[in-house]
Amino acid sequence: MELYIRVKNGQTVGHPIVGDNFHQVFPAIDTNNLPSEFARFTRVEAPIPGVYEVYEGVQYQLQDDGSCKDVHSMRDMTANEKTDKQDKVKALWEQDGGPESWVFNEETCSFDPPTPRPDDGKNYQWDENTTSWVEIS
Protein backbone atom coordinates (compact mmCIF):
# COMPACT_ATOMS: atom_id res chain seq x y z
CA MET A 1 0.00 0.00 0.00
CA GLU A 2 1.33 3.40 -0.95
CA LEU A 3 1.45 5.79 2.03
CA TYR A 4 2.79 9.29 2.69
CA ILE A 5 3.08 11.48 5.77
CA ARG A 6 3.53 15.21 6.33
CA VAL A 7 6.80 16.40 7.93
CA LYS A 8 7.42 19.77 9.60
CA ASN A 9 10.68 20.79 11.28
CA GLY A 10 11.96 17.22 11.12
CA GLN A 11 8.88 15.81 12.88
CA THR A 12 5.94 13.86 11.50
CA VAL A 13 2.57 15.58 11.56
CA GLY A 14 -0.73 13.73 11.72
CA HIS A 15 -1.15 10.23 10.37
CA PRO A 16 -0.13 8.50 7.13
CA ILE A 17 -2.14 9.37 4.03
CA VAL A 18 -3.20 6.64 1.60
CA GLY A 19 -1.63 7.13 -1.84
CA ASP A 20 -4.92 7.60 -3.74
CA ASN A 21 -6.04 10.28 -1.27
CA PHE A 22 -2.62 11.95 -1.41
CA HIS A 23 -2.79 12.14 -5.22
CA GLN A 24 -6.30 13.61 -5.07
CA VAL A 25 -5.43 16.25 -2.48
CA PHE A 26 -1.97 17.09 -3.86
CA PRO A 27 -2.23 16.42 -7.63
CA ALA A 28 0.74 18.69 -8.44
CA ILE A 29 3.19 16.81 -6.22
CA ASP A 30 5.45 14.32 -7.97
CA THR A 31 5.64 11.37 -5.57
CA ASN A 32 8.90 10.28 -7.22
CA ASN A 33 10.44 13.58 -6.12
CA LEU A 34 8.68 14.51 -2.87
CA PRO A 35 9.17 17.97 -1.39
CA SER A 36 10.76 18.09 2.08
CA GLU A 37 7.39 18.49 3.82
CA PHE A 38 6.33 14.95 2.82
CA ALA A 39 7.85 11.51 3.21
CA ARG A 40 7.05 8.02 2.01
CA PHE A 41 5.63 5.97 4.84
CA THR A 42 6.10 2.24 5.48
CA ARG A 43 3.52 0.49 7.62
CA VAL A 44 5.10 -2.06 9.96
CA GLU A 45 2.80 -4.67 11.47
CA ALA A 46 2.57 -4.54 15.24
CA PRO A 47 4.26 -7.40 17.06
CA ILE A 48 2.15 -9.86 19.01
CA PRO A 49 2.94 -9.48 22.70
CA GLY A 50 4.31 -12.51 24.51
CA VAL A 51 2.54 -13.94 27.53
CA TYR A 52 4.18 -11.46 29.88
CA GLU A 53 4.74 -8.50 27.55
CA VAL A 54 2.81 -5.25 27.17
CA TYR A 55 2.35 -3.42 23.86
CA GLU A 56 3.15 0.23 24.60
CA GLY A 57 2.14 1.75 21.26
CA VAL A 58 3.52 3.03 18.00
CA GLN A 59 5.43 6.10 16.93
CA TYR A 60 6.22 7.36 13.45
CA GLN A 61 9.97 7.59 12.98
CA LEU A 62 11.87 9.38 10.22
CA GLN A 63 14.61 7.28 8.66
CA ASP A 64 18.05 8.35 7.43
CA ASP A 65 16.86 7.98 3.82
CA GLY A 66 14.05 10.54 4.39
CA SER A 67 11.27 7.96 4.57
CA CYS A 68 9.20 7.23 7.65
CA LYS A 69 7.94 4.05 9.30
CA ASP A 70 6.05 2.66 12.29
CA VAL A 71 8.20 1.85 15.31
CA HIS A 72 6.39 -0.28 17.88
CA SER A 73 7.28 -0.39 21.58
CA MET A 74 6.96 -3.41 23.83
CA ARG A 75 8.01 -3.97 27.42
CA ASP A 76 8.11 -6.83 29.87
CA MET A 77 5.41 -6.85 32.52
CA THR A 78 6.42 -5.78 35.99
CA ALA A 79 6.34 -8.43 38.72
CA ASN A 80 3.02 -6.99 39.97
CA GLU A 81 1.47 -7.01 36.48
CA LYS A 82 2.59 -10.60 35.97
CA THR A 83 1.09 -11.67 39.31
CA ASP A 84 -2.15 -9.79 38.58
CA LYS A 85 -2.47 -11.51 35.19
CA GLN A 86 -1.86 -14.93 36.73
CA ASP A 87 -4.39 -14.25 39.50
CA LYS A 88 -7.04 -13.21 36.93
CA VAL A 89 -6.44 -16.33 34.82
CA LYS A 90 -6.70 -18.53 37.93
CA ALA A 91 -9.88 -16.77 39.09
CA LEU A 92 -11.51 -17.18 35.66
CA TRP A 93 -10.53 -20.85 35.61
CA GLU A 94 -12.20 -21.37 38.95
CA GLN A 95 -15.25 -19.24 38.02
CA ASP A 96 -15.75 -21.11 34.74
CA GLY A 97 -15.36 -24.48 36.42
CA GLY A 98 -12.13 -25.57 34.78
CA PRO A 99 -11.11 -29.15 35.55
CA GLU A 100 -9.59 -29.42 39.04
CA SER A 101 -6.94 -31.89 37.90
CA TRP A 102 -5.38 -29.40 35.48
CA VAL A 103 -2.27 -27.57 36.65
CA PHE A 104 -1.42 -23.90 36.25
CA ASN A 105 1.57 -23.39 33.94
CA GLU A 106 3.34 -20.20 34.98
CA GLU A 107 5.37 -20.08 31.75
CA THR A 108 2.28 -19.93 29.52
CA CYS A 109 -0.11 -18.39 32.08
CA SER A 110 -2.64 -21.10 31.34
CA PHE A 111 -3.78 -24.46 32.67
CA ASP A 112 -2.45 -27.76 31.33
CA PRO A 113 -4.04 -31.18 31.62
CA PRO A 114 -2.16 -33.81 33.61
CA THR A 115 -1.66 -35.71 30.33
CA PRO A 116 -1.36 -34.08 26.92
CA ARG A 117 -4.23 -34.36 24.45
CA PRO A 118 -3.55 -37.21 21.98
CA ASP A 119 -2.19 -35.91 18.70
CA ASP A 120 -3.53 -38.55 16.32
CA GLY A 121 -6.03 -36.47 14.34
CA LYS A 122 -9.05 -37.72 16.29
CA ASN A 123 -11.37 -35.57 18.42
CA TYR A 124 -11.15 -35.81 22.19
CA GLN A 125 -12.70 -34.22 25.24
CA TRP A 126 -11.45 -34.20 28.79
CA ASP A 127 -13.16 -36.50 31.29
CA GLU A 128 -12.47 -35.19 34.77
CA ASN A 129 -13.91 -38.31 36.44
CA THR A 130 -11.22 -40.51 34.87
CA THR A 131 -8.72 -37.66 34.43
CA SER A 132 -8.14 -38.72 30.87
CA TRP A 133 -8.93 -37.83 27.28
CA VAL A 134 -11.94 -39.61 25.79
CA GLU A 135 -12.37 -39.93 22.04
CA ILE A 136 -15.59 -38.39 20.68
CA SER A 137 -17.14 -39.26 17.35
Residues linked to residue 93 through DSSP beta bridges, in sequence order: none
**Residues 74-124: pLDDT tens digits?**
999 999 999 999 999 999 999 999 999 999 999 999 999 999 999 999 999
* C-alpha to C-alpha distance for 114 and 131, rounded to whole angstroms: 8
- The CA radius of gyration of the chain, in Å to the nearest whole number, is 25
Provide the whole-model pTM: 0.79
Which pLDDT score is estimated for 28? 96
Nearest to 39 by CA among 58, 61, 59: 61
Task: Cite the beta strand spans of 2-94 per DSSP E.
Answer: 3-8, 11-18, 38-42, 53-62, 68-76
**Residues 20-75: pLDDT tens digits?**
999 999 999 999 999 999 999 999 999 999 999 999 999 999 999 999 999 999 99
Band of pLDDT at residue 137, cut at 50, 70 and 90: confident
What H or E segment, with its residue span, contains residue 105? strand 103-105
Beta-carbon contacts of 11 under 8 Å, excluding residues fewer than 6 positions away, are 62
